[in-house]
Structure formats: C-alpha cells, structure tokens
Structure 1
Amino acid sequence: MDSDTHTGGAKQSGDDTVLCIGAHPDDEVLGAGGTLAAHAAQGDEVHVLVVTEGSTAQYDDPSMVEQKREEARACADRLGVGEVHFGDLPDMRLDDVPHVEVNAVVESVVERVEPTVVYTHARQEVNRDHRAVYDSTVVATRPGSGVERVLAYETPSSTDWVGGGADQFEPTLFVDVTDHLDAKVAAFAEYESETRAFPHPRSEESLRARARTRGAAAGVAAAEAFCLVREVRETP
C-alpha cells in the first residue's frame, strides 16, 4: 500500500478515533462528509482511507491520479480530517483483485490507526468496488479488532441506483449534520473532476436536498443516514 498520507494537525482530545473508508476519492465526503466534520469539531481524531487510485478507469491520463489525491487532501482540510491514506489499488477493478489483497489494504490502516469508529460503503451498491470495500471492511473490523462501531453510508449515484430487484439501503441511524452541511458541500466542491450539474445526485443542489430529506425522516433540518453494521458496548 502507498504510505502517502495527508496530515492536517496534531491529534485532538476527543474520545473517538474515526476512520472513513471509501473506494474512490469523493466517496468519503458524499457518504459521511457532514458526520466527519462533526467528529472533527468535537475533537475526535479523523482519518480517511481511499482504497483505489480513482482515475484509470475514467481517464487516460496518469496525472489524474495525483490530481485526485490533491483534491482528496483539499477536501480533508475542509472537513477537519487529520490524515488521508491512499491504497492505490486499481480503479473500478476491485472485483478482479483477490479479496485478500483488498483486505490487506484495509487491515493495514485499521491496525495503524486503531479506530474506535469506522464508516464504510453499504453492501447495497451498484458499484462493485464499493461492495468489495464493504466486504473487506467487515473482515478488517471483525470482533477482536478493537473497533467498537461500524456504520455503512449511502453513496449518491450508486446506492440509489440499485434497482427494485435487489435489497435497498435502509438506514437505521441518522446523524444531525445541520451545522456541518455547508462544510460538506464546500468540501465536495474541491473534487472538481467529480462534481456534476443538477439534477445529477453529485451536484450541490442534490446533496442539500438529500440531507434535508434524511433530516426530515429524523426530525432535524439536515442529516446523513447510515446502517449499523456492528456495535460492541460495555454496558446495555
């Protein structure tokens, strides 16, 4: 795994160490950007892992790999993320990569960071890279890993395009991101290569609309939605 990381400052004094895992640059902010900003604001140590290089399947230009990394670093700064880790596996080809190799990338960062809270892709995804990352996250955060909570996030233009013949993303937990929605939108805007015009799900208008919809379901102005994958508690 590429050891390149982005460091945004000293360790904070919060109770949790947070790791958000995404298959591609921008997945982390689309799925959990407001929540990551909230963690950072309360003093938690926040990390992001981008598993693939995020460009070769879309662009015939090697320089795009570094551009995506620069965008990921800029996005992290907006959210207050401390470090961005890059796995550098092939974009849109994780279904051709042996499962143990994807596991190794995720496990190495989990072992290094020692997170208490992990966010990852949902299993209900059109994108096969996302599903592969979910499977490897479940392996890397298995009981005994020290991870106390694993939550799966939705990814606009993937989770919502699954179709009626498959299991759908059904959130079981909502995070109030009312105070952090602007930070999420500004952070996503750093991904100039990934933003789209409305009504595409990866537009500013759509991101705000999704947050309002999830917020209405939870009784707040804006929210991000998650499925609880696993939680270990010392008390009931």
Structure 2
Amino acid sequence: MTGVSHLGKVLILAPHPDDEVLGCGGTMARLADAGHEVHVAVVTKGYEPAFPAAMVEQVRAELAEAHEMLGVKKCHFLDLPAARLDTIPGAELNAAIGHVVSDVAPDSLFIPFLGDIHRDHRLIFTAALVAARPRTRAIPQRIYAYETLSETNWAAPGITEAFIPNVFFDISNTLERKLNAFERFKSQVKPTPDERSLKTIRALATLRGSTAFLEAAEAFMMIREIS
C-alpha cells in the first residue's frame, strides 16, 4: 500500500459547508497528520431570504469546529450564491475558482463529481477543470473527484454520469475523526436512515474499505495525474 506523501499541498473545493467532510474528511485528517497543508475552499454562501443569516453563521461556526478537528490549515470563502450558481456568468465562477487555485497552488486538487444531482456541484466540477488546464507547470498534478452522500448517488446512473471509483484512500485510523467532525454540523446531521446520518457515513466508509480490503476508505475518481 502506498502512502500519501506524493499528494503534497492539497486543496478541496466544497460547493457548500460539509461537502468536504462528507467526501474527504478522513483523507483530510490523514493528510494533516502526515504534515501536509490541507486547504478548503467553500465556494458558496447562503443569502437571505432563502437562507436566514443566523443559519449561515451557525453553519460557518460548525465548519470551523469540524476543520479544527481535521487539521485544516486554512478555509477560503468565495461567497458565491448558494443554489444559484447557474444565475451568475460562467466567467465569474471560473475566475473565482481560478483565483483560489492559483493562490493556494495545490499539488493535489479534490473536486465534487460531475454527476452529482446538485447543479452547484456540477458547475464547480467544470470550473475546477478550467482552472486546472495544463497550460503551465504550476497546475495541480493530481485531480480527484469525491462522492457526496445524498448528491452523488441521487442522480440516474445509466442516464447521467455514474460515480465509478478507481482510487481508495485508507481512513481506517481517521474514520472516527471524520464522524466526530461531521457531528459538529448540528444543523446538518440527520437521524438514521437518512443518508446524512452518522450510521450511513460509517456504512459507506466500510463498504468502500471492503472494496479495497481495508477497514474503512474514501473513494475517488482519478480525473488526471501528471507524473
């Protein structure tokens, strides 16, 4: 089994607070433990009237607690409108993501999956690939798409893009921290059998782990690797 030293500095693009913990929380903790710089960029922010200001502040406070637990070095807030990314010019979204990718200069980039049912996720996937176009030597050397419970698996496989993972990161030693970090999102945690329950998050980690003969894993699709 290979380690994670090749991943270098890491940036995770999160459409909304908690997506990065659901998709990459165990990997984030493992990378931080290994001494890597782990950055998160939360692309959107909820605005009134759809998202009460008090709720937005609560979620950001929960996010800070979760990130501290996982060892995140810095969280970057892009503050584009949540659930309304399709209302802003594509050039504006591309520029915002391009700037944070340029500022962080990650070696490895983790992005939401193209086939997620939430349009914000799909738009960010495309904008991330625009930001990471191989036009300079400074682009991310590795790009992974992660899965998000209640987004990645609620589309229509066979009609829309299917998440078929080909990379598995061992999170046997960090699964509990991932669960504890997600539990900090009091506004987002749901009771079983909801997909955003702690039981379901653990079950997915167990399933993905068994796929690679591990106790627990997070699964990704490799989009590109330059070696």
Q: TM-score, normalised by structure 1?
A: 0.89
Once the two structures are overlaid, the 10-residue window that deviates more, 39-48 or 188-197, is 188-197
Q: 1:55 to 1:219 in 2, by over 3 A?
A: farther
Residue 203 of structure 1 is aligned with which of 177, 197, 201?
A: 197
Q: CA deviation at 1:142?
A: 1.4
Residue aligning to 2:17: 25
Q: CA deviation at 1:158?
A: 0.7
Q: CA deviation at 1:167?
A: 2.2
Residue 152 of structure 1 is aligned with which of 123, 145, 149?
A: 145
Q: CA deviation at 1:111?
A: 1.2
Q: After superposition, give the CA deviation of every residue in 1:115-137 in whole Å (9 maximum; x if it has no partner).
A: 00110101111000000110111
Contact kept? 1:95, 1:128, Cα under 8 Å: yes
Q: After superposition, give the CA deviation of every residue in 1:174-218 in whole Å (9 maximum; x if it has no partner).
A: 001000000100111111111111111111000000000000111
Residue aligning to 1:40: 32
Residue aligning to 2:85: 94
What is the aligned length? 220
Contact kept? 1:57, 1:91, Cα under 8 Å: no
Residue 168 of structure 2 is aligned with which of 174, 179, 204?
A: 174
Q: CA deviation at 1:53?
A: 0.7
Separation (CA, whole Å) in 2 of partners of 1:55 and 1:39? 33
Residue aligning to 1:9: none
| AA aligned opposite 2:37 | E
Contact kept? 2:144, 2:222, Cα under 8 Å: yes
1:215-226 matches, cutoff 5 A: 215-226=209-220
Separation (CA, whole Å) in 1 of partners of 2:92 and 2:28? 27
Q: Does 1:118 align with 2:109?
A: yes
Q: CA deviation at 1:63?
A: 2.1
Q: Specify every segment of 5 or more residues in structure 1 that has no aligned partner in the other structure, as ranges.
A: 1-12
Separation (CA, whole Å) in 2 of partners of 1:52 and 1:166? 24
Residue aligning to 1:132: 123
Q: CA deviation at 1:54?
A: 4.0
Secondary structure of 1:167's aligned partner: coil
| AA aligned opposite 1:205 | K
Separation (CA, whole Å) in 2 of partners of 1:130 and 1:217? 25
Separation (CA, whole Å) in 2 of partners of 1:54 and 1:17? 28
Separation (CA, whole Å) in 2 of partners of 1:172 and 1:100? 31
Secondary structure of 2:153's aligned partner: helix
Q: 1:153 to 1:55 in 2, by over 3 A?
A: farther
Contact kept? 1:79, 1:187, Cα under 8 Å: yes
Q: 1:70 to 1:132 in 2, by over 3 A?
A: same
Secondary structure of 2:221's aligned partner: strand
Residue 61 of structure 2 is aligned with which of 47, 65, 70?
A: 70
Separation (CA, whole Å) in 1 of partners of 2:143 and 2:131? 11
Separation (CA, whole Å) in 2 of partners of 1:222 and 1:136? 31
Q: Specify every segment of 5 or more residues in structure 2 that has no aligned partner in the other structure, as ranges.
A: none
Once the two structures are overlaid, the 10-residue window that deviates more, 159-168 or 220-229, is 159-168
Residue 154 of structure 2 is aligned with which of 141, 144, 161?
A: 161
